[in-house]
Amino acid sequence: MARLKVIYVVDADPMARHGLWRALTRPGWSFRLLGDARTALEAMRQLPPDLVIADLDLPGVDGVALLAEIHHRAPSVRTILVSGTEVPPGARTAVRDGLIDGLAAKPAGGLLIGMAEQLLGETLAADWPAFAIPEPLSERRRGGRAEVVAAGPKAAQDLLDEGGVVRASPP
């Protein structure tokens, strides 16, 4: 039997954590729902994750800093930053620098599900409804980093404004 994929959902809002968990539940995926960065980092010692999905707005340490620290401690762990608000430039910089694998808007939808599946090696990027790829990421692709960085009209426009490339998969 295949090993379960361990996914951490880190969000200060219990309803948001539960919503992300419900949207992402798949056979073979195991979840830990956590409310802050400190708890997530402590949990990594006991049960290392395959994927961490963290909200931008966390108490104490924000989602960008948490995912950058996770990348520093365990570079093989895949990471997605989610936000219900506008994503700060520092988050886009962290993606370009390879510290965060993806950005997604709340509420969870097909894009976040597709990102999670892609990062866990369970689907192809062509299955995603829309995605944006900054040009520098093409070089990291060879190093195993995720291609998909952001989606949705606002995120796609932000990447275009910064010289990124927006592509849509076939219907």
Query: Tokens for 68?
Result: 């950058």
CA distance 49 to 70: 10
Q: Count CB atoms within 10 A of the CB of residue 13.
A: 15
The model's pTM is: 0.72
The per-residue pLDDT for range 8-56, each reduced to its tens digit, is: 999 999 999 998 999 898 888 999 999 999 999 999 999 999 999 999 9
pLDDT by residue (tens digit) across 95-128? 888 889 888 877 777 778 888 888 888 654 444 4
CATH assignment of the domain containing 108: 3.40.50.2300
CA–CA distance, 132 with 140 (Å, rounded to integer)? 15
What is the total count of domains within the chain? 1
Q: Is the pLDDT of residue 154 over 90?
A: no
Look at the block and give the residue holding tokens 């379960």.
Answer: 4
